Amino acid sequence: MRTNLLRSRIAIILCFALLVLALGRIQLVERRELVLHPANRYRMAAENRVKRGEIFDRKGMPLALWTEEGQRYYPLSYAGSHPIGYVSGTLGASGAEAWFASELLGREGTQGFKNFWQRLAGGQEAGYNIQLTIDGNLQQLGYSLLGGQKGAIVAIQPATGEILALVSSPGFDPNHLEQNWNHYTNNPEEPLFNRALLGTYPPGSTFKLVVGAAALKQDPELLERQFECPGYIQLEGRQLACYQAHGQLSFVDGIAVSCNVVFAQLGLEIGEEQLRRQAGAFGFDQGLLAGIPVKHSSLGDEPLTVNGLAESAIGQGKVLATPLQMALVTAAIANDGLLAEPYLLRSRSVSGATFSAPAPVLSSTRVLTRSTAQVLKEAMVGVVNYGTGRQARINGIQVGGKTGSAENPHGQAHAWFVAFAPAEAPEIAVAVVVENAGSGGGNGGPIVRELISYYLSSLE
């Protein structure tokens, strides 16, 4: 009996050891996730002790503020609902309210120390006011230009990576969220879904910029070459059609008229590895925004077949990209091949709406040589001047762009338009996608034109 007893003693001690492991899993390993969980009432209680900071746009216009009655008020309403988000005792938080919670709640920096003492002394804790890189007026204009259609707009300052607008449509009303919550969660148009960061779409012909960049890198003689477009290209067992038989054309013409034959052929020539490498340099398969959830853009996990490679080269097949990703591709080309890391939080201040100088550019990576970028820029100017993007032309301002009409299983093509302006010294790069709207030039062009002309005139 003694042996049995001592054996069962060991079993019991092992069970206690198991409890310690389970305890460690909750208190140490899964801790962060649980502490940040939206349903965690400790978190809400801690947040309620702090006077949450207010949110301003790049020019000091309020985006989220406290009313006299102590209500959180969002002046942009639907238009700013995705990047600014909401904060609610029962529904948690989203957008900047969630992404920059530690600034808004004064958990870091000097305010963090101050609040620690305030907490001990029983005083009022306060968070930082923050300034976003968003331009509130541009954001609002973008939202109204989408006119309730499903889609997204991302605008970036190419030289700095500052995100000027991050529109997702349809939006929601952050000022009356709790009453409408069920309506929003059951709505098939998914107004709570941030399409700009989390929506992945086949990029269609806008992806030809990535293929073009890889092709230019591989073949310096590319500009001298003449291509022949008979209206289709023969692949393994199938034909890939072009919009029309373009006949004899150069690489630059190929971009301007968005010739599928030229790019399918280039895709096959450069091969999968180079294509993936160039896409990766632009940010595919990466998170893009530090600390903010962004869906990874991708060429698919599977190795590509010959047909798959040709389809990918025209932005179809397995390629999927977020609007933010395509805005970055455009911004890097506009910025002479330097990709500035994008960001949303410009500055913070202890009180009021006066903010110190914007944070410096986080980092820039050279993703294209200056000359490659120059070729692509000129080709994109051609797109707008005489190619598929003529709808984006603006008097007196040289715009560069690329259209895309991405075929998809959900109906009409998604309309894409990526652009930058002014071409000689770009101030803005923008990517627009309108779901199932049809051709990119016809549907995206006017939106791009309005956005760019408004933004450039606001700079004067």
Partner 1 sequence: MGMQDSRRQEALLLVPVAVLLLAGSSLYYALAPLPENRFLFVGAVLLACLYYVLHFLLVLQAKGADQLLLPITAMLTSLGLIFLYHLDPNLAVKQWFWTVLGLVAMAFIILAVRDYHWLAEFKYTFILLGLAFLVLTVLIGDETGGARSWLSLGQFRFQPAEVVKLLVIIFMAAYLSEYKESIIGYGDSKNPFRLDLQGFGPLLVVGGLLIVLLVVQKDLGAALIFFGLILSMVYVASGRVWLVVLGLWAFGAASLLAYYLFPHVQTRVAIWYNPWPLADGPGYQIVQTFFSLAQGGILGMGVGMSNPRFIPAAATDFIFAVAGGELGFLGASLILFLYAVIGWRGLGAAASAPDDFGLLLAGGLAMLFSLQTLVIIGGILKLLPLTGVTLPLMSYGGSSLVINYLMLGLLIRLTALFASPEGTAVHED
Binding region for partner 1 (CB under 8 A): 1-6, 8-9, 12-13, 15-16, 18-20, 22-24, 26-28, 30-31, 34-35, 37, 39-43, 45
Q: Which amino acid does the sequence have at 179?
A: Q
Query: What does the buried/exposed string (b/e) look like for 387-410 if buried means 16 or more CB atoms within 10 Å of the residue's CB?
Result: bbbebbebeeebbbbbbbbbeeee
- State the minimum distance, in angstroms, from the CB of residue 16 to partner 1: 4
- State the minimum distance, in angstroms, from the CB of residue 6 to partner 1: 6
- State the minimum distance, in angstroms, from the CB of residue 40 to partner 1: 5
| 310/306 Cα distance (integer angstroms) | 6
Element (H, E) at 240: strand 239-241
Q: Using the minimum distance from each CB to partner 1, give the nearer residue, 8 or 351.
A: 8
Q: Which residues have C-beta within 8 Å of that of residue 425, sequence separation ≥ 6? A: none
Handedness of CA 15, 19, 21, 22 (dihedral sign): positive
- State the minimum distance, in angstroms, from the CB of residue 9 to partner 1: 4
Q: Using the minimum distance from each CB to partner 1, give the nearer residue, 31 or 59.
A: 31
- State the minimum distance, in angstroms, from the CB of residue 386 to partner 1: 57
- State the minimum distance, in angstroms, from the CB of residue 18 to partner 1: 7
| 113/412 Cα distance (integer angstroms) | 55
- State the minimum distance, in angstroms, from the CB of residue 31 to partner 1: 5
Query: What does the buried/exposed string (b/e) look like for 160-170 if buried means 16 or more CB atoms within 10 Å of the residue's CB?
Result: bbbbbbbbbbb
Q: Using the minimum distance from each CB to partner 1, give the nearer residue, 11 or 425.
A: 11
Residue of 87, 127, 98 lying closest to 289 (CA atoms) = 98
**Alpha carbon separation from 191 to 186, 278, 333, 344 (Å, rounded):** 10, 33, 32, 21
- State the minimum distance, in angstroms, from the CB of residue 121 to partner 1: 15
* Bridge partner list, 400: 420
Q: Using the minimum distance from each CB to partner 1, give the nearer residue, 15 or 357.
A: 15
Q: Using the minimum distance from each CB to partner 1, give the nearer residue, 29 or 362.
A: 29
Mind giving me the DSSP string for 390-421? GGG-BTTB--EEEEEEEEETTEEEEEEEEEEE
Q: Which amino acid does the sequence have at 175?
A: N
Q: Using the minimum distance from each CB to partner 1, give the nearer residue, 108 or 269.
A: 108
Q: Are 232 and 239 in contact (CB under 8 A)?
A: yes
Element (H, E) at 3: helix 2-24
Cβ atoms within 10 Å of 212's Cβ, excluding its own: 28
- State the minimum distance, in angstroms, from the CB of residue 175 to partner 1: 25
Q: Using the minimum distance from each CB to partner 1, give the nearer residue, 2 or 424.
A: 2
| 46/307 Cα distance (integer angstroms) | 56
- State the minimum distance, in angstroms, from the CB of residue 189 to partner 1: 25
Q: Using the minimum distance from each CB to partner 1, give the nearer residue, 38 or 300.
A: 38
Q: Using the minimum distance from each CB to partner 1, give the nearer residue, 13 or 362.
A: 13
CA dihedral 436, 442, 444, 445 (to 10 degrees): 180
Q: Using the minimum distance from each CB to partner 1, give the nearer residue, 45 or 245.
A: 45
